[in-house]
Amino acid sequence: MSEPSLTSIGQCASLACLMEVTAPKVGNVHRGADFADMTYWDFVVSANMIGPILDAASRCSLGETVLAAVQATRSAVGVNTNLGTVLLLTPLCMVPRGESLGVGVRKVLSELTAQDARQVYEAIRHAQPGGMGTTEHHDLAADAPGDLLEAMRLAADRDLVARQYTEGFSDVLDRVVPWLSESLAAGKSLSDAIVETQLRLMAACGDSLIARKCTGEVAREVSDRAASVLKLLPRDEAAYRAALADFDFWLRSDGHRRNPGTTADLLAAGLLVAIREGVIEAPYHMTFGV
């Protein structure tokens, strides 16, 4: 494992977002598949808009950074391409490069203030994410709570992004990054490694955006289908590719309501960590076998 050649954490974050959206992940926008209301180009522009803002994250507050990144994205593309991604990338970008991410991100989260909560709530309202609904406690239409982590704890059982805030980014650091590393060590292309990791994450966790927009039952079906596709991978490459295509078709067949968007957010965060830690090394070639 070598030191990454990029010196800017904002560059690393933008590159992570570009890797995530370019890989042909099932059910998501990628360079070969747009949605009617959201395109690959929207994500490319968004990745470039947030890079300079995340470069300054270590010198700013979390709330200030999240709000600025969401506002910059919205002004450039007019749609919500990256709210969950920004919420995950920001604490990671605030950790100094020489410091352990596991320790550093917990420290960042422990120092959040009421102002951070107000700005994060403002950012969420500005992004206008789909499927949020209403809740009894800390509803987004109400005033922001004084303690952002407490609000995240109350949402953690239904939102994977919130769960990262309450569990020290455990899914990102202990699942996504090791799975990417394992696939790459086995000789997979970066593109294939990202898709395989997407499937593993959906099999393990479902997808909370799908659960919000559809139902928990649909999210469980997504998890089961992802696990079934994965079972084919070691035994039959052709059958795996065919099942992957069928799964992709099913995810897209309901007006992209079954878009695994939260999984994509966690993948982008894991890719940032992998670039920062040298798990993914320059020149960052992506071949598209899927």
Please tell me the distance from the alpha carbon of residue 125 to that of residue 119, in angstroms, as a whole number.
10
Residue 137 amino acid letter: H
Helix, strand, coil shares, percent, the chain, to 5: 65, 0, 35
φ, ψ of residue 56 to 5 degrees: the values are -95, 5
Q: How far apart are CA 234 and CA 201, in angstroms?
A: 17
Q: How far is CA 193 from the centre of its chain?
A: 15
- With a cut of 80, say whether residue 157 has pLDDT above it: yes
Query: 33-53, pLDDT tens digit by residue?
Result: 999 999 999 999 999 999 999
CA atoms within 13 A on the CB side of 16: 39
pLDDT interval class at 222 (50, 70, 90)? very high
| Matching residue, tokens 């309450």 | 166
Least confident of 62-66, 126-130, 187-191, 221-225: 126-130
Q: Which residue has the tokens 């990102």?
A: 172
Kindly indicate the confidence band of residue 3, based on its pLDDT and cuts at 50, 70 and 90: very low
Q: Which two tokens stand for residue 86?
A: 């920004």
Contact 87, 101 (CB under 8 A): no
Task: Give the predicted TM-score (pTM) of the model.
Answer: 0.92
| Chain-centroid distance, C-alpha 96 | 21
Q: What is the CATH number of domain 9-276?
A: 1.10.4200.10
pLDDT at 140: 56
The string of pLDDT tens digits covering residues 112-143 is: 999 999 999 999 999 988 655 444 444 555 67
Whose structure tokens read 């805030």?
A: 165
Q: What pLDDT does 256 receive?
A: 85
Angle at 248 between CA 242 and CA 250, to 5 degrees: 105
The structural domains of the chain, with segments of one domain joined by +, span: 9-276
